[in-house]
């Protein structure tokens, strides 16, 4: 691998993981408000399908993105309504929607498979794209990549530096206390379910309009589940989530590269890599293992390390609040 190859390798890893970053930001917002949208795999498929068909029929990719976002928001709304208003299990509704999204997208998209369609144009940012290394990595991409990075920054800022963000976190951590202070807990949850769902929908449409262009049965099956896992191993932080998504993209790319270079290595072993990595990271961030490891460290770094590594979910995640 020469230097040029390494740069283009990472540039394509970043491009391929950008929709995942968008989905991870959306789901992080939803989960930080205390709602789990388990339907990601199904809603992203639905959004990818509707995004492509709308863009194809209207010959306008922006309408496609809009359609994807609307579908994602609608799926999220079903989950929010079912859990907040009807007190049903979020997991149950989310899981049904996951399977339903796969089947429904296959059926509704059956006349639009394998068609050449519109796609997002490449967009170099003048001057910045000419920077060595950083240029090709971050500024010689398409709008999806730029949007995903801006989104990470905005999500972080919104969560940690604004008052609505404070309300959002309070609703996910201590809904009773937030309610007592006058925050409309369920309204906030509806809102961030819908916003998060819309972002997940954008992510789905980003695949069919910019990364894996077009539509076919089960076009992006499995990626929604990966996004859900990345939210966890990003510790419900958009910044760490983005790193997780890129790490996944890099592993995936590495698998393809190694397969080309060492044909003896089995492709299945390489494709298993992200999943094995996922389990190991999940054990690392949620098991007792980390705590034991930290105990060996010098006293002075223990607390900062713990703060960095102990990634607890929002306390009220998945729990509903009766406002009456």
Partner 1 sequence: MILPRWAERFWPVVPIIGALLFIIALLFLFGADPLESLNIMFLKPFENQAKMLSVMAFWVPLTLCALGLLVTFTGGLWNIGVEGQMILGSLGASWIALTVDAPAFVLIFLEIIVAMLAGALWGALTGFLKTHGKVHEIFGGLALNNLASMLSLYLIAGPWQPPEGGSFRGTPPFQEAALLPRFAESRFSPISFVLTILAIGLVFFALNNSFWGLKLKALGKNARSAFLLGVSSERETIYAMMFCGALAGLGGAVRVLSWFDSLRQNISGGIGYLAILVVMLAAYRLLLVPFISFFFSLVLNGSLTLQLKTQLHSSLGGILTGVMVLFILLFGEASKLGFRKEVEKDE
**Residues near partner 1, by CB under 8 A:** 38, 78, 81-82, 85-89, 91-93, 95-97, 99-100, 102-104, 106-107, 110, 222, 225, 228-229, 232, 266, 268-269, 271-272, 275-276, 278-279, 282-283, 286-289
**At closest approach, how far in Å is the CB of 229 from partner 1?**
5
CB atoms near residue 218 (< 10 Å): 12
Judged by CB, which is closer to partner 1: 62, or 107? Answer: 107
Least distance to partner 1, CB of residue 202, Å: 23
3-state helix, strand, coil in the chain (%, to 5): 75, 0, 25
Minimum Å distance from CB 299 to partner 1? 25
Contact 227, 220 (CB under 8 A): no
CB of 91 to partner 1, least distance (A): 6
Non-local (6+) Cβ contacts of 15 within 8 A are 141, 142, 144, 145, 211
Nearer to partner 1, 92 or 134 (CB): 92
* Euclidean distance between the first and the last CA atom of the chain, given in angstroms as a whole number: 63
Helices (H), 162-266: 163-173, 175-180, 185-206, 223-233, 238-261
Pick 75 or 138: Cβ nearer partner 1: 75
User: Which of 96, 294 has the CB closer to partner 1?
Assistant: 96
Task: Return the closest-CA partner of residue 47 out of 228, 214, 190, 203.
Answer: 203
Q: By the 8 A CB rule, do 31 and 193 touch?
A: no
Q: Smallest gap, in angstroms, from Cβ of residue 98 to partner 1?
A: 8
Q: How far is the CB of 249 from partner 1 (least distance, A)?
A: 17
Query: Can you tell me whether residue 238 is helix, strand or coil?
Result: helix
């Amino acid at each position: 691998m020469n230097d040029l190859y390494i740069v283009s390798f990472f540039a394509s890893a970043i491009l391929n993981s950008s929709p995942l970053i968008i989905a991870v930001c959306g789901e992080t917002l939803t989960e930080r408000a205390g709602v789990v949208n388990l339907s990601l795999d199904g809603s992203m498929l639905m959004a990818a399908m509707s995004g492509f068909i709308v863009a194809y029929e209207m010959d306008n990719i922006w309408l496609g993105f809009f359609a994807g976002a609307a579908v994602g928001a609608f799926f999220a709304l079903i989950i929010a309504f079912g859990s907040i208003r009807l007190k049903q299990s979020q997991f149950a509704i989310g899981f049904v929607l996951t399977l339903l999204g796969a089947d429904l997208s296959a059926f509704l998209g059956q006349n639009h498979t394998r068609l050449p369609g519109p796609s997002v144009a490449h967009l170099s940012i003048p001057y910045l794209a000419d920077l060595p290394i950083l240029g090709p990595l971050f500024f010689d991409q398409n709008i999806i990549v730029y949007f995903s990075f801006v989104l990470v920054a905005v999500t972080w800022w919104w969560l940690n530096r604004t008052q609505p963000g404070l309300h959002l976190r309070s609703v996910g951590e201590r809904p009773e206390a937030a309610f007592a202070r006058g925050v409309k807990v369920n309204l906030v949850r509806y809102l961030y379910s819908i916003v998060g769902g819309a972002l997940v929908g954008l992510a789905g449409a980003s695949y069919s309009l910019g990364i894996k262009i077009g539509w076919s049965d089960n076009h992006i099956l499995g990626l929604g589940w990966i996004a859900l896992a990345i939210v966890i191993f990003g510790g419900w932080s958009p910044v760490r989530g983005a790193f997780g998504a890129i790490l996944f993209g890099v592993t995936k790319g590495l698998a393809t590269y190694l397969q080309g270079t060492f044909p003896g290595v089995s492709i299945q072993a390489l494709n298993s890599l992200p999943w094995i990595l996922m389990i190991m990271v999940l054990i690392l961030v949620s098991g007792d293992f980390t705590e034991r490891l930290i105990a060996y460290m010098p006293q002075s770094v223990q607390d900062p390390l713990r703060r960095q590594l102990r990634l607890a979910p929002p306390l009220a995640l998945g729990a509903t609040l009766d406002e009456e």
